[in-house]
A = this chain, B = another copy of it.
């Protein structure tokens, strides 16, 4: 946990985190409050824009549960494919989809992650994309009638060329991120976009902050699932701020298993 004070000065380099308030000149926050949201990559932060921070309401759950949960709304019977499925977001999206009665396939990059998806997180199927030479053929095996929902975390030619060809008519793609592309000088070219015309599907980007106003509604649905143990959450924890850069770079190599956490301080 980082520690922070509220003032009117500059913002730190941002990142999602949880923190304890040490001092505050803002009426909504007081010393000792626990908050989550955009905090700094530093041990002590001076926060000037507290609208990106939320106070904890439910202290009976591990703090880090609050940092990775996103909205997704599949329908019963939909056939769903999730890429980067063993990451911070994918693991939850897959479990939500299962709770809503979907068939869920997860893609990940190691045997360990595939085992987790199938045996701990309750996905119907999972596969190691590094072992599939022909993703198009693989997706046709799992989705002979096409993909109703693709939850996009990966991007790039290999993944999207195959997925777009296998979307079902009137399917839906929720684009959360494209981690394979962020560090390339030139993003890869995707050649199968014509499929959006033939299959008339819907491809839409979103970002979590736009849905913050629904967060309390979301908690009403999700907290009971967490209490009943119907949702598992896997974290990959490293100790010490000095491990931060390596942990961040590991995300782009797929080294993390579950949500990558950096512990700045235990207090």
- Copies of this protein, total: 2
Question: Nearest chain B CB to A149's CB is how many angstroms away?
Answer: 14
In angstroms, Cα B169 to Cα A210, docked, is: 11
The answer to whether A205 touches B210 (Cβ under 8 A) is no
The answer to whether B186 touches A191 (Cβ under 8 A) is yes
Within 8 A of B (CB), among A141-198: 155, 157, 160, 175-178, 181-182, 186-198
Question: Nearest chain B CB to A215's CB is how many angstroms away?
Answer: 18
The answer to whether A201 touches B191 (Cβ under 8 A) is no
The answer to whether A176 touches B197 (Cβ under 8 A) is yes
User: From A204, which residue of chain B is reached at the shortest CB distance?
Assistant: B202
Which of B175, B194, B200 makes the CB contact (< 8 A) with A178?
B194
User: From A180, which residue of chain B is reached at the shortest CB distance?
Assistant: B194
A199 proximal to B (CB < 8 A) = yes
User: From A152, which residue of chain B is reached at the shortest CB distance?
Assistant: B197
User: From A210, which residue of chain B is reached at the shortest CB distance?
Assistant: B200
User: From A187, which residue of chain B is reached at the shortest CB distance?
Assistant: B191
User: From A198, which residue of chain B is reached at the shortest CB distance?
Assistant: B205
Complex interface: chain B residues within 8 A of A192 (CB): 187
A203 proximal to B (CB < 8 A) = yes
The answer to whether B194 touches A204 (Cβ under 8 A) is no
In angstroms, Cα B196 to Cα A198, docked, is: 20
In angstroms, Cα B155 to Cα A195, docked, is: 11
A119 proximal to B (CB < 8 A) = no
In angstroms, Cα B117 to Cα A32, docked, is: 64
In angstroms, Cα B181 to Cα A196, docked, is: 13
Complex interface: chain B residues within 8 A of A195 (CB): 205
Question: Nearest chain B CB to A170's CB is how many angstroms away?
Answer: 9
Complex interface: chain B residues within 8 A of A194 (CB): 155, 178, 181-182, 187
A206 proximal to B (CB < 8 A) = yes
A72 proximal to B (CB < 8 A) = no
In angstroms, Cα B188 to Cα A15, docked, is: 36
The answer to whether B201 touches A204 (Cβ under 8 A) is yes
Question: Nearest chain B CB to A220's CB is how many angstroms away?
Answer: 25
* New contact pairs (14) apart from A157-B189, A196-B204, A201-B204, CB-CB < 8 Å: A176-B197, A177-B197, A178-B194, A178-B197, A187-B194, A188-B189, A188-B191, A190-B191, A197-B205, A197-B207, A200-B206, A200-B210, A202-B202, A203-B204
A–B pairs, 7, beta carbons within 8 Å: A187-B192, A188-B191, A189-B190, A190-B190, A196-B204, A200-B206, A203-B203
